[in-house]
Amino acid sequence: MKLGFIGLGAMGRPMVEHLLAAGHEVGVWARDATKAASIGALGAGIAETPVQLGSQADVVFTNVTGSADVEAIALGENGLIHGMKPGSVLVDFSTIAASTARYIAARLAQKGVHMLDAPVSGGSVGAHAASLSIMVGGDAAVLERVRPLLNVLGKTIVHVGGNGAGQVAKACNQMVMVAAIQACAEAASLAAASGVDFARVREAMLAGSAGSRVLDVFGGRMAERNFTAGVEARLHHKDYAILMAEAASLPAPLPLPVAAQVWQQLNALMAQGWGRDDTAALLKVLESAHA
């Protein structure tokens, strides 16, 4: 199969590198010509527009920021829909609204093009290590066609359900993860206010029932007061905006009291101008409130 890829950022580029290393023919398109040229030097073809890329590929992957970005790339004036052939597949790794994923899938289906919403978890570290968790919504038979490609990029591939189900799974993932980051921030704040070293507290917690990857990674950044972005907080803010809006739009609006409080903390973080910091900066939000 000929492959296309759009979205050459911190996660997209290593994903393309893995596909190239596995011997696949990959074409790319990027708004930033420098990024395209850089990956082109490794053997990827470079398309002038998404429609051109779509016309050349059996499977196109996208990994961009938000719902509007994916919709424009897929359905816009020079979008993939105008080039992709019947039977071809769009696999979207982005984190977007489930409703948007369903809408794009329905529009593509009118042209005989399949879509899988396949958001990923694991961040840039997981992308580099090809150890991503991939949550897939769409037709199971279509997933089986592209599963060998996904196996190049991730270790865990779960078919969650129909179109949009992958995005629901990612929303649930982000809801639990960022709430845990907020809990770590509150634990660090309580330890400091009590005159106890949070680094020692964290060490004890990691060996107990509160031990988790979030406490290890994000709690570690808090203990070291290292807020350099591993994951930029603005991206988690974007994800929370999506999940809160989707929850509010359900036929019976769903109360999410913990998520609502975390959302407010993320809003405060953004208001402080810390969106480019790591989400561990939720600790600084608590500290600023008590300064």
| Residues with active-site annotation | 170
3-class SS of residue 27: strand
CB neighbour list of residue 141: distance below 8 Å, 6 or more residues apart: none
Task: Give the span between the Cα atoms of 18 and 26, in whole angstroms.
Answer: 10
Q: Which amino acid is it at 189? A: S
Query: Are the C-beta atoms of residues 171 and 122 closer than 8 Å to each other?
Result: no
CA dihedral of residues 114, 132, 207, 259 (deg, nearest 10): -40
Q: Which long-range contacts (CB under 8 A, 24 or more apart) does 281-288 make?
A: 281/227, 281/233, 282/181, 282/182, 282/185, 282/233, 283/184, 283/185, 283/188, 283/189, 283/222, 284/227, 285/185, 286/185, 286/186, 286/189, 287/189
8 Å CB contact between 267 and 237? yes
